[in-house]
Amino acid sequence: MASLIRSWIPLLILQSFLVAIAFGSKEAEEFSEALLLKPLPDRKVLAHFHFENRAPPSNSHGRHHHLFPKAISQLVQKFRVKEMELSFTQGRWNHEHWGGFDPLSSMNAKPVGVELWAVFDVPQSQVDTSWKNLTHALSGLFCASINFLESSTSYAAPTWGFGTNSDKLRYGSLPREAVCTENLTPWLKLLPCRDKDGISALMNRPSVYRGFYHSQRLHLSTVESGQEGLGSGIVLEQTLTVVLQPETTSVETNMQPSWSLSSLFGRKVVGSCVLAKSSNVYLQLEGRLGHESKNVDTEIEAHKLWKNADFDLSLKPDRVLRESSSLLFIFDIDKSSDSEPFDLGLTWKLPSKWSCQQAPLQATRFLMGSGNERGAIAILLKATESQEKLPGRVVTDGRCTIKANIFQIFPWYVKVYYHTLQIFVDQQQKTDCEVLKKINVSPSTDKVSSGMLEMMLELPCEVKSAAISIEYDKGFLHIDEYPPDANQGFDIPSALISFPSHHASLDFQEELSKSPLLSSFKEKSLVRSYTEVLLVPLTTPDFSMPYNVITITCTIFALYFGSLLNVLRRRIGEEERFLKSQAGKKTFGLKQLLSRLTAKIRGRPIEPPSSDSPAAQSSFLSSKLIFKIILVAGAAAAWQYFSTDN
């Protein structure tokens, strides 16, 4: 018995060693899901899905995953990605009505199309190679045209204007990329329960894509373990932001529409994902409701807040949290089931009006000029109503100022003249020394790299409007470089406006450590906004001309070779017999009648009518054939002469 125990001891030691290598850490993978619902002032509803998946640091020899998607882990390990964000967006975020100075809009209000940026942990000489390989891998993973960003004319290397200060950062955007279910399906496959169970089951495709705005975002970052022999951990954050219009039968325009989960998405929540550590649904109410309940003890009066004179909730919240200007109702969906599904509804009783907090300046970008040769790009910054109430003002030399960073990319065929930069503050032109505090310019190279502009403006706090303009020339493309819909125009990606002195956060009085969504809201995020995508018309050739040339050339060649083959394959003997028979039928005239009468009178047999000699007919046919051949040869020679001259 003792010998048997001694024989098993090495096997147990080996097994424990393999388990230590496989996991490398006592921490386990965690997955959480959450849904935030928020009524908007313009009678719409914001639905924000938030999923977070954490993989703890592990041994560098390998990693075994239970919840974390293996495809994402392989991307991080193979391409040495330190931080990455990928977004697919359709529609434009309305900063005036949906907010611009809160963590939700700062992190999830994305430009139209596809946006990708990544920071690599590789030597500087290998950054571009890693970027190209990453774009190809993501293109196959999400069924999109992200591989178009591999070209050096499609991406840029920001230094400080984007917000992330790193010399190993690459940024690219595809404004014309169409977003559809082919992009959402692989995004959902990264979730442990996919869209079969939990909060993700609400993602009904028709409901999501009929909204005014939807953006699916994937953000991953690595977390260093700080221990020798352990690799870095990975935090994967997946969000889907949708703005929907509830169906209502009310004729009152001031009354907010009532809604429920089943009316918005056509589905109900029948339970949480069994693999999720936490599954919560949040309802955030802003404006007058939040201010009225500011002095209410949420723990004691929680049961009175969900049914009041302004609105009614269909379900009683488990907890109620309070912030300076908003209320947050928390619902736990672990108790829901098929017999008792979770279907949260909000019914308004009285008209309610409020406004969302906006960024200090609202940005708008547009084109100036006319014609297909040159033009100008202008950015207009207008002060908002909440500018004076926002924190983050900087006092320099006794003067209050607002800092604004502008980052934009120009395609190589838009040749920007940076020396034509003009800045206007309150309709008065200012010199660069007065307003422009920092600038970084990267000129474009034809068919090699795109142009980039990073600039920091320092505007007075009492500014009402500021305008920036810069002139450009339109380049010429080769016929092979035009896209299929060239007459539609060419896109200039959105410009990014950020305010480095302003940070948005939501700090509720009670912190929930188990909620990654509230933890992300508590962290201060840089206030930023994207401008419109510009559509620039370029000089476009007549793409129908090659078709017309090919058509007429083929027609002439068909006539030429058809006539030539017809002449060469014609049989002259058969034509002579055919002509004789035709001539014999037509020579029934007076001469034939006289010959028949003469033969009868003389008693001689009737002789057949005489025709022309064969030699004469053959000479006639040969001359006709020669004429046709000369005619076809002359046409061919004329075509060859004119084609060589052109």
Residue 53: its pLDDT value, please? 95
Q: What is the DSSP letter of 343?
A: -
Q: Where are the beta strands (DSSP E) in 511-551?
A: 525-530, 534-536
pTM of the model: 0.81
β-sheet with 169-174: strand ranges across: 155-156, 169-174, 113-120, 81-90, 213-223, 233-244, 45-55, 30-39, 278-286, 326-332, 319-322
Residue 12: its pLDDT value, please? 41
Q: d(Cα 156, Cα 400) in Å, to the nearest integer?
A: 33
Instruction: Tell me phi and psi for residue 332, to 5 degrees.
Output: -100, 125
Between strands 233-244 and 45-55, the pairing is antiparallel
| C-beta separation of 271 from 337 below 8 A | yes
Task: Report the candidate in 519, 419, 434 with the shortest Cα–Cα distance to residue 469.
Answer: 419
Residue 17: its pLDDT value, please? 38
pLDDT tens readout for residues 423-467: 999 999 998 888 999 999 999 999 999 999 999 999 998 899 999
Q: Where are the beta strands (DSSP E) in 487-620?
A: 490-492, 496-504, 525-530, 534-536
Between strands 278-286 and 30-39, the pairing is parallel
Cα distances from 338 to residues 233, 272, 313, 316, in angstroms, run 37, 11, 21, 19
Residue 428: CB atoms within 10 A of its CB come to 7
Q: Compute the Cα dihedral for 519, 522, 526, 529 and give only its sign.
A: positive
Task: Report the candidate in 83, 19, 55 with the shortest Cα–Cα distance to residue 231.
Answer: 55
Q: What is the DSSP letter of 126?
A: G
How many C-alpha atoms does 631 have within 13 Å on its Cβ side? 10
Q: d(Cα 218, Cα 197) in Å, to the nearest integer?
A: 20
- Contacts for 173 with CB less than 8 Å, ≥ 6 apart: 111, 113, 114, 115, 116, 409, 493, 494
Residue 203: its pLDDT value, please? 93
Tokens 């450009």 correspond to what residue?
A: 472
Q: Compute the Cα dihedral for 137, 142, 143, 148 and give only its sign.
A: negative
Instruction: Label residue 150 exposed, middle or buried (CB < 10 Å: 0-12, 13-18, 19+).
Output: middle
Q: Residue type at 634?
A: G
Task: Report the candidate in 188, 181, 190, 179 with the shortest Cα–Cα distance to residue 145.
Answer: 179
| C-beta separation of 281 from 344 below 8 A | yes
Q: d(Cα 286, Cα 145) in Å, to the nearest integer?
A: 39
Alpha-helical runs (H) found in 189-282: 205-209, 261-265
| C-beta separation of 310 from 352 below 8 A | yes
Q: d(Cα 277, Cα 54) in Å, to the nearest integer?
A: 11
Ranges in the chain, pLDDT < 70: 1-27, 59-63, 226-230, 249-252, 287-304, 386-398, 509-514, 570-575, 582-594, 596-597, 599-625, 643-646
Between strands 345-348 and 361-368, the pairing is unpaired
Average pLDDT, the chain: 83
Q: d(Cα 240, Cα 218) in Å, to the nearest integer?
A: 9
Residue 300: its pLDDT value, please? 45
- Contacts for 226 with CB less than 8 Å, ≥ 6 apart: none
How many C-alpha atoms does 282 have within 13 Å on its Cβ side? 27
| Residue 449 falls in which region: left (phi positive, over 0), alpha (psi -120 to 50) or beta | beta
Residue 62: its pLDDT value, please? 57
- Contacts for 340 with CB less than 8 Å, ≥ 6 apart: none
What tokens were used for 184? 């959402």
| C-beta separation of 460 from 401 below 8 A | yes
- Three-state DSSP state, 79: helix
| C-beta separation of 525 from 502 below 8 A | no
Residue 242: CB atoms within 10 A of its CB come to 24
Residue 441: its pLDDT value, please? 95
Residue 628: its pLDDT value, please? 72
Task: Report the candidate in 82, 89, 92, 14 with the shortest Cα–Cα distance to residue 530.
Answer: 92
Cα distances from 604 to residues 591, 593, 600, 608, in angstroms, run 17, 15, 6, 12
Residue 308: its pLDDT value, please? 80
Cα distances from 3 to residues 10, 12, 14, 60, 610, in angstroms, run 12, 15, 18, 36, 132
